[in-house]
Amino acid sequence: MSGHDPFQRVTAIVDLGAVERNCATMAADLASGTELCAVVKADGYGHGMGECADAALRGGATRLAVATATEAFELRERVGAEIPILVMGALTGAELDVALQARAELPVWRAEFFEALAERAGMFGFRPRVHVKYDSGMGRLGEREPHGVVRLADAAASDERIELAGVWTHFATADEDDEDYLRGQLDRFREVALPIQERHPGITLHAANSAATLRGPEFHFGMVRCGVAIYGLDPFGRDAAPHGLEPALSLHTYVADVKRFHEGDSAGYGRTWRAPADTWIAVLPTGYGDGYRRGLSNDCDVLVGGVRRPLVGTISMDNVTVDLGSTTEVEVGEPAVLIGSQSEEEISAEQLADRLGTINYEITCGLTRRVPRAYRN
Ligand SMILES: Cc1ncc(COP(=O)(O)O)c(C=O)c1O
């Protein structure tokens, strides 16, 4: 994916065909009967929620998940009435009404919330489907006590105002090499959830994010909730290619200026870089205002003319500078790639995350609204 629309200062090109293929790849390796739920919260991890939801459904996802009521509402308008949408996050009273209007499936773990939900449900004229969340070791949302989970699930199953749809949990360390803690969570979940499913056979159990899904069928249950992998990002923070996944997003800008620097000349705020010798510098009109993080200052590469070039100087809100060295072949208007490939070279979200001491999720989620998303198939 190269080429830059010369009318755009910076563009995130999202390859929806890649999202579709990534879903098909994930779906192909699921245990028999397991459904793929595509996680499209946070605007599809920065890729665009609605567009990616459509692509995921084309690729074999049969369900969608988001974090908030507003996301569920927007998504429902996009995908129509039939596709199940799960809200995974905590909801205030007002948000609960929005989620109910969206006919979303809802998480429960507190008795008070369960009661509020059951009461509100009558006013909406349908039986909301609820998923009881067990905190088996994430230490975040969910009921920690196994008997509390059983009590809530049985209460939901016997309450005519609502429908028990599932029991679920979330893993804290599925992306780590050491599986001990993960297996402890899996065992605790099985111990609590399987007997509930025996009593209420129609329900769906689910636990796996992308990393756990890639570890194999014992983590799959009735459904997996995959986010990062469907965008072609590696849940283990290394390289997505060995998993058969293709990065969907690339980030493009252009060379707005090229100038001669003499030895000792400095680029950008604070003069954090000075030319060690005479050189050529390209100015690219993008910066941390677009989500191209300032922490990458003097510490990452950019692709210009099919070559990896060091970014030099401090990243500004709207500009960065790149050392072209002695080449005089780069011209104003040429495309530059911040994430993605040019010729044989590639810069991945994982590489940028590694430089920043963060995760690939944060790189794509962090691209701001100022960056137009252009969709390709
Ligand atoms: C509860 C829950 N399930 C599933 C996911 C998807 O995780 P991943 O993007 O690692 O597949 C998330 C994402 O943060 C989550 O919060």
pLDDT digits (tens, 9 = 90+) for 222-261: 999 999 999 999 999 999 999 999 999 999 999 999 999 9
* Nearest of 68, 194, 193 to residue 134 by alpha carbon: 193
Q: What is the pTM of this model?
A: 0.97
Instruction: Give the Cα separation of 167 and 189 in Å (integer).
Output: 9
Give 170 Cα–ligand 1 centroid separation in angstroms: 8
Instruction: Give the Cα separation of 116 and 93 in Å (integer).
Output: 8
Which of 134, 254, 269, 361 is flagged as catalytic? 269
Whether 41 sits among the annotated catalytic residues: the reply is: yes
Q: Would you say the CB of residue 227 lies under 6 angstroms from ligand 1?
A: yes
**Amino acid identity at 182:** L
Give 41 Cα–ligand 1 centroid separation in angstroms: 9
Pocket perturbation via mutation, ligand 1, pick of 225, 231, 361 by most ligand atoms within 8 A of CB:
225
Q: What percent of the chain shows pLDDT beyond 70? A: 98
Q: Would you say the CB of residue 225 lies under 6 angstroms from ligand 1?
A: yes
Q: What percent of the chain shows pLDDT beyond 90? A: 95
At 329, phi and psi to the nearest 5?
Answer: -85, -15
Instruction: Give the Cα separation of 190 and 290 in Å (integer).
Output: 44
Instruction: Give the Cα separation of 224 and 96 in Å (integer).
Output: 24
- β pairing state of 307-312 and 301-304: antiparallel
Confidence of residue 6 (pLDDT cuts 50, 70, 90): low
Token pair listed for 252: 């493009």
List pLDDT tens digits, range 58-68. Answer: 999 999 999 99
Q: Which atom of ligand 1 is nearest to the CA of 226?
A: 11
Token pair listed for 186: 């899996």
* Nearest of 363, 335, 334 to residue 350 by alpha carbon: 363
Whether 269 sits among the annotated catalytic residues: the reply is: yes
Is 64:84 a contact under the CB 8 Å cutoff? yes
Give 227 Cα–ligand 1 centroid separation in angstroms: 6
**Amino acid identity at 187:** D
What is the per-residue pLDDT for 5?
54
Q: Would you say the CB of residue 64 lies under 6 angstroms from ligand 1?
A: no
The CB-side HSE value for 353 (13 A sphere, CA atoms) comes to 19
Give 356 Cα–ligand 1 centroid separation in angstroms: 21
* pLDDT higher than threshold 60 for residue 1: no
Give 283 Cα–ligand 1 centroid separation in angstroms: 37
Q: Which atom of ligand 1 is nearest to the CA of 175?
A: 10
At 127, phi and psi to the nearest 5?
Answer: -95, 105
Residue 356 region by backbone torsions, left for phi larger than 0, else alpha for psi between -120 and 50, else beta? alpha
Q: Which atom of ligand 1 is nearest to the CA of 230?
A: 11
Q: Would you say the CB of residue 210 lies under 6 angstroms from ligand 1?
A: yes
Q: Would you say the CB of residue 226 lies under 6 angstroms from ligand 1?
A: yes
Q: Whose CA is nearest to atom 8 of ligand 1?
A: 227
Instruction: Give the Cα separation of 95 and 351 in Å (integer).
Output: 37
List pLDDT tens digits, range 52-102. Answer: 999 999 999 999 999 999 999 999 999 999 999 999 999 999 999 999 999
